[in-house]
Structure 1
Amino acid sequence: MSDSNFTVTAVKIPAVAWDLAANVYFPEGLDTTEKHPVVISAHPTGSVKEQTAGNIYAAGLAKQGMVAITFDASFQGESGGEPRLTEDPSFRTSDFSYVIDYLVAQPWADEEKIGVLAICGGAGYAVAATMIDRRIKALTTVAGSNVGRLMREGFSGYDPIGMLEAVAAQRTAEARGGKQQINDLLPPSVDVAKDNGLTDVDVLEATEYYKTDRGAHENGCTSFNFARQGVLATWDAYAHAETFLTQPLLVVVGDKPGAFASYRLGMELYGRAASKDKELKVLEGVTHYELYDQPEATGEALKAAIAFFHKYL
């Protein structure tokens, strides 16, 4: 794949027991015999590397001369791992370190200048990874969310114990030969959502993004393997941020709130992070999903992120 401003190279990255599928975005004319800063662009929950993390943010970084890499999370997209559509925070967090293992072995990557830009649920996993892996030198979250928090709230109908009981029953059924339960996180269309009385801006815009040509991708699947989602109920992306999140941090959010709570959670992250070098960019009148692909909102996010990475990488 190529663009007048960059080229994209597909690579396979060894992980715990399978490969992660990744795309490296090289600015046109980059001298790969020299070392350069690299930004890992991490996709949202229910997304894949070709969607907003790749075609908007990695591409936008590469157009401005920065090397970027996107990857499919374990169990998702073109990456390996069974059972499919597992959303496990331990694996989602450790995926970043496997990508960094790949980068530090490349002649074109400066191991002292590795950053992360992550969107929505991917941002929560990136926060956890940044606290663990000190090779990450700077972090930008865009419309960042915290899937563990949401699982204890709206994703479980505000009944996490009831959800865990149902997960336990489903795992028992599958252990006895029953079928997997794969739950789509979104309605099949905006019209269906409205017909069912759904009015939340995040749910409606997510449905429009993922269920239409606006953002749909053949490898994308906005679904969870229900029997495997229990681990999210007790996980929190921001746990110990006051102690361990010391790297430079940029938080980008829109100020129009919705069910996925990126405004509230972004403000919380900014306040709790131990980093002495942290910046907050609030985009007025912007929704969560406008930060996925709408030119004005993503342009502002990229402008802030590029300046931030130039400063700290």
Structure 2
Amino acid sequence: MSGRIETVSIPNIAWKTAADIHFPPNFDEKKKYPAVVSAHPIGSCKEQTSGNIYGKAIVKAGFVVVTFDASFQGASGGGPRFIEDPEFRVSDFRFVVDFIQTLPYVDAERIGVLGICGGGGYAINAAMTDYRYKCCVGITPVNFGRLSREAFGDFDPVASLEKMAKQRTIEAQGGDRLVINLLPPTVDDAKKATTDIDVIEATEYYKTSRGQAPNGCTSGLFSFNSAALAWDAFNHAEVLMTKPLMVVVGDKPGGFGAYRDAQEIYGRAGSKQKHIVALPGISHYMLYDKPEAVQPALERVLPFFKEHLGEAR
């Protein structure tokens, strides 16, 4: 059973969440394993970075790992498609832990969570509000609410909300839905449009063979983005973030703001055990899959999980 992956459908509010259970080497169903839930970035899917990079490494270290597609995205259910609503995204984590804590080979008292990019912000919020998660890791975490108010909203959130309201009215009256692509179509287009390292490197990851996956659509339903503008991944972190926390970020900042978000949550978190790892010379998207970034990240992340979740018993 070593290296086995089992695809499951997890009950959600009114649809199913698509998830993969990754089993560690020499898996023994009679043992109780610590588990880690790994969450994908915004506009991504479970097969990109959360599963094939971090999930794979955590499994090799002896954990059961569960990766899942967000509601309305990837292979998960829910409609309309391509909704990026933070409340639903965080709710997904609760349904996933509902499911995995019933598995006979998972120790319900030793479940941790990891997320990358926007998934990191959601993972942190989930750990703040669902204490079945015993520790949390954010890999280059992004607060999607802050990003929506700033770069994704042209730094004019009120104007963005006006446009979203008009577009949702059009759609409610039978008009076509407006699905926007979050990135330029090619790396050349990205370089012509901006000098921002995050946009260029995101395009290189998502729009080339480096990171492309069938369900990694990098798309968003514009009219349903309004909920994000009033949301804050770190709201009440001073009081509610009580679990051990680690954030890993590169020290080369880009327009999506992971560096500042990592610094903010590290400063605000009420956790007695919290760590920030700032990797020199590393950018946001290098932490998705580049060995020179991922390896030093894992050198801190894996011992953190072992310390707080233990090993199979």
TM-score range, shorter chain: over 0.9
Name the SS of the counterpart of 2:4 in structure 1: strand
Shift of residue 235, structure 1, vs aligned partner: 0.4
Instruction: State whether structure 2 residue 304 is matched by structure 1 residue 304.
Output: no
Q: Which residue of 2 aligns with 1:219?
A: 215
Q: Which residue of 1 aligns with 2:243?
A: 247
Shift of residue 137, structure 1, vs aligned partner: 0.1
Task: Provide structure 2 residue ranges, at least 5 long, that are not aligned to the other structure.
Answer: none
Which one-letter code corresponds to 1:23 in the other structure? D
Which one-letter code corresponds to 1:254 in the other structure? G
Shift of residue 195, structure 1, vs aligned partner: 2.2
Q: Which residue of 2 aligns with 1:122?
A: 119
Task: Give the TM-score normalised by the residue count of structure 1.
Answer: 0.97
2:16–2:77 CA contact under 8 A, matched in 1: yes
Q: Cα RMSD (Å) of the superposition?
A: 0.9
Deviations 1:155-194 (A, max 9, x none): 1001100000000000110111100000101000110112
Which one-letter code corresponds to 1:85 in the other structure? F
Shift of residue 131, structure 1, vs aligned partner: 1.1
Shift of residue 30, structure 1, vs aligned partner: 1.0
Equivalent pairs counted in the alignment come to: 309
Instruction: State whether structure 2 residue 31 is matched by structure 1 residue 26.
Output: no
Q: Which residue of 2 aligns with 1:167?
A: 164
5 Å-filtered alignment, 1:203-218, equals: 203-218=199-214
Name the SS of the counterpart of 2:134 in structure 1: strand
**Aligned counterpart for 2:139 among listed residues 120, 137, 142:** 142
5 Å-filtered alignment, 1:179-218, equals: 179-196=176-193, 198-218=194-214
Name the SS of the counterpart of 1:253 in structure 2: strand
5 Å-filtered alignment, 1:76-95, equals: 76-95=73-92
Q: Which residue of 1 aligns with 2:95?
A: 98
Looking at structure 2, the residues matched to 64 and 106 of structure 1 have their Cα atoms a distance apart, in angstroms, of 20
Looking at structure 1, the residues matched to 92 and 223 of structure 2 have their Cα atoms a distance apart, in angstroms, of 21
1:6–1:59 CA contact under 8 A, matched in 2: no
Q: Which residue of 1 aligns with 2:67?
A: 70
Shift of residue 28, structure 1, vs aligned partner: 2.1
Identity value in percent: 52
Shift of residue 201, structure 1, vs aligned partner: 0.5
Q: Which residue of 2 aligns with 1:38?
A: 35
Looking at structure 1, the residues matched to 268 and 29 of structure 2 have their Cα atoms a distance apart, in angstroms, of 38
Looking at structure 2, the residues matched to 103 and 145 of structure 1 have their Cα atoms a distance apart, in angstroms, of 26
Name the SS of the counterpart of 1:284 in structure 2: strand
2:124–2:137 CA contact under 8 A, matched in 1: no
Instruction: State whether structure 2 residue 291 is matched by structure 1 residue 295.
Output: yes
Q: Which residue of 2 aligns with 1:259?
A: 255
Deviations 1:215-266 (A, max 9, x none): 0001111011001000001000000000000000011000000011111110
